[in-house]
Amino acid sequence: MSHDPRFFAFLKERIGLDVASVGEAIIERAVRQRSQAVQAQTPGEYWQHLQSSHDEQQALIEAVIVPETWFFRYPESFATLARLATARLAEIKQMRALRILSLPCSTGEEPYSIAMALLDAGLAPHQFKVLGLDVSPLSVERARRGVYGKNSFRGSDIAFRDRHFIEHSDGFHIADRVREQVRLQVGNLLDPALLANEASYDFVFCRNLLIYFDQPTQKQVFDVLKDLTHVDGVLFIGPAEGSLLGRHGMRSIGVPQSFAFSRHAGPVPPEPVFVPIPVPQRSAAPIPVKPRPFSTARAQVVPIKTAPPCDAGNLLSRIATLANEGKSAEARAACEQYLNNHPPAAQVFYWLGLLSDVAGSALEAQGYYRKALYLEPQHPQALMHLAALLESQGDSAGARRLQARAARSERADSESKR
């Protein structure tokens, strides 16, 4: 069932997924799983079943979509939202409730985080309403249940769990006062009729979605998002997507780590102050022997001195060794082997980006770097290499933003070690 373009084309048409953004291995694994589930013996047999069954079409989409989310992911976005919402209510003289959109809302962590942030900021329930949309009915149903395990609560500050959840034997249940602020429904951002008869939204969260689309689809989705966002509204995006919005005329509001953009006609806010860092020089030369994770300056794998590594750790070390030795084809095959057998990892997508970059496939490399930053927003090598790539393409502003993030991460890391 390997490399069957029909399944790639199906996912591209239905949900806009660009195969290069996630890698063929993830899609092929989903197709294999679904083929086994319906007992299809050949790719052709499964394709015929897929064409005749709406339920199976949705099942394949569900198999490809792997929700990776938790409450208050990128905390500064929610702190910024709370400040902007208070100011926005004053601007409109509290004549109506604020309208906030979260898409894709996945299993509900983001729209519920929005509601909790605004309630904690002192907004009354009648002052705002949140709509969550997702292409996955299964995810929407889980969001409606509002029951979460410990994996949805990450980071050092989870005091909000005591305020807004009730613990039961099956998990943590979202409180009714939060649930009542959020409406959830199935919706596809590629549907031209999506929310066509509704008023625009004061704040729109659409994070870590554009990185999965090719450039024409990104433009199509951006046009929809722009129509959904009020002319004075703010669009919150993922950490790797700033340069994409910049190309379409959106401007950062200037709050570090908020990933918030507007189309306000006023002067562009100044870029955050940062300590410049060297941008790697790009060329078609072999992969530099600069120390990288899992390798030394001589491209040798650093022995792991703690517990014996699991299969995933061994494979990651093998990928690093092959890549640093210039064995690109073998390294790429090892990356695909990893993705076929383990959950997605930022380091694997970083290596795929670097391999593509060295091979001269700039767009493919950019997609892989962004995927790495989706999984690990402060991945230092992905930040620096994507900055170099954007700079080489003339996107100096995008490169500076990534350099600023890398510098902040470096400072934070240095301070934590003091």
User: Domain residue spans in the chain?
Assistant: 5-64, 75-262, 311-416
Half-sphere exposure of 63 (CA within 13 A, CB side): 21
Q: Which pairs from 287-296 meet CB under 8 Å and 24+ separation?
A: 287/323, 287/324, 287/326, 287/354, 287/358, 289/324, 292/320, 292/324, 292/381, 293/320, 293/347, 293/381, 294/319, 294/320, 294/321, 295/320, 295/321, 295/324
| Sole residue written with tokens 């997924």 | 17
Instruction: Show the DSSP H helices in 277-361 as ranges.
Output: 311-324, 328-341, 346-358
Query: Contact, 366 vs 210, CB < 8 A?
Result: no
The pTM of this model reads 0.65
Q: Is the pLDDT of residue 167 over 90?
A: yes
pLDDT tens by residue, 14-53? 888 877 767 788 888 889 989 999 999 898 999 999 999 9
In this prediction, residue 313 carries a pLDDT of 85
Give the right CATH number for 75-262 from 3.40.50.150, 3.30.700.30, 3.90.1170.30, 3.40.50.10440.
3.40.50.150
Query: Contact, 211 vs 160, CB < 8 A?
Result: no
Mean of the per-residue pLDDT values of the chain = 81
**Contacts of 94 by beta carbon, 8 Å cutoff, 6+ apart:** 127
Q: How many CB atoms lie within 10 A of CB 16?
A: 22
- Rounded-to-integer distance, Cα 373 and Cα 386, Å: 10
**Which range has highest mean pLDDT (98-102, 268-272, 317-321)?**
98-102
What does each C-alpha distance from 65 to 11, 51, 312 come to in angstroms?
11, 19, 22
H-run or E-run covering 231 = strand 229-236
In this prediction, residue 308 carries a pLDDT of 42
- Rounded-to-integer distance, Cα 252 and Cα 235, Å: 9
- Rounded-to-integer distance, Cα 334 and Cα 322, Å: 9
- 311-416: CATH topology: 1.25.40
Half-sphere exposure of 152 (CA within 13 A, CB side): 22
pLDDT tens by residue, 195-224? 988 899 999 999 888 878 877 888 888 888
Percentage, residues of the chain above pLDDT 70: 82
In which band, very low, low, confident or very high, does the pLDDT at 417 lie, cut at 50, 70 and 90? low
Across 112-118, average pLDDT:
98
Q: Is the pLDDT of residue 320 over 90?
A: no
pLDDT tens by residue, 348-365? 999 998 888 777 787 888
pLDDT tens by residue, 261-316? 997 634 433 433 333 333 344 433 443 433 333 333 333 344 434 434 458 888 98
Half-sphere exposure of 68 (CA within 13 A, CB side): 18
- Rounded-to-integer distance, Cα 146 and Cα 115, Å: 13
Find, among 36, 119, 31, the residue nearest to 82 by Cα.
119
Q: Is the pLDDT of residue 171 over 50?
A: yes
More confident residue, 393 or 293: 393
What are the two backbone dihedrals, phi and then psi, of residue 293, each rounded to the nearest 5 degrees?
Answer: -55, 140
251: β partners: 262
Query: Contact, 104 vs 132, CB < 8 A?
Result: no
- Rounded-to-integer distance, Cα 343 and Cα 190, Å: 27
What are the two backbone dihedrals, phi and then psi, of residue 16, each rounded to the nearest 5 degrees?
Answer: 75, 10
Q: Which pairs from 30-35 meet CB under 8 Å and 24+ separation?
A: 30/60, 30/63, 30/64, 31/1, 31/4, 31/7, 31/60, 32/1, 33/63, 34/59, 34/60, 34/63, 35/1
